[in-house]
């Protein structure tokens, strides 16, 4: 009986050990296969990128193109394609359109071609010149479609330096184009301490935005007397005929922003 027990215990331990070895082997095999797949992907990406770059080098000898990269996976469409195409044409550059990579780190069709062609175009005409044309095209688009400042579009970030962009900056710039500070208003020595939070509501029937609430942050008690004036100007700004023609859904328009005073 004792021998049978010892034999059973021995077999159980051997089975358990064998199972652990088997699980470790499977795990190691999977890790090896994953590494091989990564290496294959990187090799393929390198080969395709090399072909793209050679294609761009060859084409750039006779033509120059420029493309806008849309952020993956759900970046906003570039709204000023017609405007940018016209500006690029004036300096002899062909508008190539938009392209989107992917967020998986794998190769995207023609990605390196777009990148290298953009690089060659900027080297020939100047990076600052090309960037300014992109900004001008966006500003022209907004001038023709003022309601765009109330729409979410990450391409508007191209209008500002990377460290200087604020989601409300564009709205503030357009608001203060026609805003005059009331007589007696005292300017603060600190930046961004005086502002109004504006809550908007979107009417699905009229496709218009209207103000739902104001929250004021005025650090100087003297300036609080001008709150009714601020509200009047903000209401006019939002109600302005040029700013209510929203053609998209409630999920595509801003329903909250801040107006910063001096």
pLDDT in tens, 233-247: 999 998 886 665 555
57 & 135 share domain: yes
Same domain, 188 and 112: no
- Which of 9-18, 64-73, 119-128, 212-221 is predicted with the least confidence, judged by mean pLDDT? 9-18
Return phi, psi of residue 16, to 5°: -65, -45
Q: What is the pTM of this model?
A: 0.73
**What b/e readout covers 196-224, taking b as 16+ CB neighbours within 10 angstroms?**
bebebebeeeebbbeeeeeebebeeeebe
Return the pLDDT at 241: 63
pLDDT exceeds cutoff 80 at 161: no
If asked whether residues 139 and 210 sit together in one domain, one would say no
CB 215 within 8 A of CB 197: yes
Residue 7 lies inside a defined structural domain of this protein: no
Positive or negative: CA dihedral 81, 82, 88, 89:
positive
DSSP classification of residue 133: H
Say if residue 174 is in the same domain as residue 140.
Answer: no
Domain contains 35: no
Domain region containing 221 = 158-260
The whole-number pLDDT of residue 14 equals 45
- Residue 145 CA to residue 80 CA, distance in Å, equals 10
Question: Do 253 and 163 reside in the same domain of the chain?
Answer: yes
**Higher-confidence position of 19 and 218:** 218
Whether 108 contacts 79, CB under 8 Å? no
**Distance of alpha carbon 203 from alpha carbon 255, whole angstroms:** 11
Within-domain flag for 193: yes
For residues 19-38, give the mean pLDDT: 62
pLDDT for the residue numbered 66: 96
Residue 190 located in a structural domain = yes
User: Is residue 79 in a domain?
Assistant: yes
Residue 74 maps to a domain:
yes
pLDDT given at position 243: 63
Q: Which of 8-17, 54-63, 238-247 has the lowest mean pLDDT?
A: 8-17
What is the average pLDDT across 201-217?
A: 85
Q: Write down which residue in 114, 144, 174 finishes a domain.
A: 144
Sign (positive/negative) of CA torsion 55, 123, 79, 87?
negative
Residue 96, pLDDT score? 94
**69: in domain:** yes
For the chain, the distance separating the N- and C-terminal CA atoms, rounded to the nearest angstrom, is 94
Question: Are 108 and 196 within one domain?
Answer: no
101 falls within a domain: yes
Q: Quick check: 53 pLDDT over 70?
A: yes
- Least confident piece of the model among 40-49, 147-156, 182-191: 40-49
Per-residue pLDDT tens digits for 81-105: 999 999 999 999 999 999 887 655 5
- pLDDT confidence band for 24 (50 / 70 / 90): low
**176 and 203 together in one domain:** yes
**53-62, 141-150, 219-228: range with highest mean pLDDT:** 219-228
Same domain, 92 and 138: yes
Q: CA 178, 179, 182: angle at the middle one, nearest 5? A: 145
Q: Is the pLDDT of residue 25 over 90?
A: no
Same domain, 125 and 64: yes
Domains of the chain: total: 2
Q: Are 253 and 207 in contact (CB under 8 A)?
A: no
Among residues 163, 241, 157, 227, the alpha carbon closest in space to that of 198 is found at: 227
Pairing of strands 65-70, 94-100: parallel
Which of the listed residues 117, 144, 171 is the one where a domain comes to its end? 144
Average pLDDT, the chain: 82
């Amino acid at each position: 009986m004792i021998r049978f027990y010892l034999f059973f215990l021995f077999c159980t331990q051997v089975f358990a050990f064998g199972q652990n070895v088997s699980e470790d082997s499977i795990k190691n095999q999977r890790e090896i296969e994953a590494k091989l797949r990564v290496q294959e992907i990187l090799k393929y990406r390198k080969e395709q990128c090399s072909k793209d770059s050679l294609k761009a080098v060859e084409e750039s000898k006779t033509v120059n193109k420029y493309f806008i990269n849309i952020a993956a996976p759900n970046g906003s469409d570039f709204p000023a394609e017609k405007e940018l195409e016209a500006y690029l044409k004036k300096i002899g550059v062909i508008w190539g359109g938009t392209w989107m990579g992917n967020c998986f780190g794998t190769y995207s069709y023609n990605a390196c071609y777009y990148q290298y062609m953009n690089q060659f175009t900027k080297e020939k005409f100047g990076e600052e010149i090309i960037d300014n044309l992109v900004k001008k095209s966006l500003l022209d688009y907004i001038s023709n479609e003022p309601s765009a400042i109330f729409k979410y579009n990450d391409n508007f970030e191209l209008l500002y330096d990377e460290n200087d962009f604020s989601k409300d900056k564009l709205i503030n710039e357009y608001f203060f184009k026609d805003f005059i500070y009331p007589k007696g208003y005292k300017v603060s020595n600190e930046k961004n301490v005086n502002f109004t939070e504006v809550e908007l509501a979107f009417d699905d029937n009229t496709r218009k935005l209207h103000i739902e609430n104001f929250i004021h942050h005025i650090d100087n008690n003297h300036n609080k007397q001008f709150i009714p004036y601020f509200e009047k100007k903000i209401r006019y700004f939002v109600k302005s005929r040029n700013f209510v023609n929203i053609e998209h859904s409630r999920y595509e328009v801003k329903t909250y922003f801040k107006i910063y005073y001096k």
